[in-house]
Amino acid sequence: MHTAPTCAVTVGTILGRPRGGHGRSICKATSVSTESPNPHPTTSRYADPATGSSTDSSSGSSADGPDRVAQQTRDISEVPAVEVITTAAIHLMSAAAVKCGLAEGPEAADHLDLDEARRLINALAGLITASAPDLGSQHAAPLRDGLKSLQLAFREASVIPDAPGQGPGEKLTGSVV
């Protein structure tokens, strides 16, 4: 099983704000956790396709599969679309920041992968551009700021810079230079 490297990158880092948000929303009106919605594999429950029930890998106990799925469906139905979209954008931002070399610590350079960063920034630009009318300026503006910061960081990390308007996401957002 492949697990993602642990790096200290926060939305505050991407947006150029002081650290200390630790899982808080980049907008004051929306509470968004940047913690992974997927529990760690050593404590999560994995569904057994044959029986439909899930097993808690930390204790070996079985949980009732259909009841658990129904509870999760009820839980997700209570989450506003703005929060789901913002959370997805934050995950893309965090991953792109790591791939652009913005992680902290001595291993930050080991995670630099501009090809992957380009894909993530393109996806983020598409998500923000498509959802901005539904999010409203209160939610979209900080996401656009974060996207622009990532686009500029990508340009700075590139040995051979893209032409203006040809960088990651710039076909959707316009040139950042």
| Spatial CB neighbours of 34, under 8 Å, sequence gap ≥ 6 | 10, 11, 23, 87, 90, 91, 94
Residue 73 is which amino acid? T
Q: Are 46 and 102 in contact (CB under 8 A)?
A: no
Say whether pTM exceeds 0.85.
no
Local structure of 75: helix, strand or coil: helix
Domain-by-domain residue ranges, the chain?
45-77, 88-173
Q: What is the pLDDT along the chain (177 residues), one digit of tens a residue?
A: 443 333 444 445 455 543 333 343 333 333 344 444 444 444 444 454 455 554 444 444 445 688 888 888 878 888 999 999 999 999 999 999 999 999 888 888 889 999 999 999 999 999 999 999 999 999 999 999 999 999 999 999 999 989 999 999 999 999 998
From 166, 120, 116, 109, select the one nearest 147 (Cα to Cα).
Answer: 120
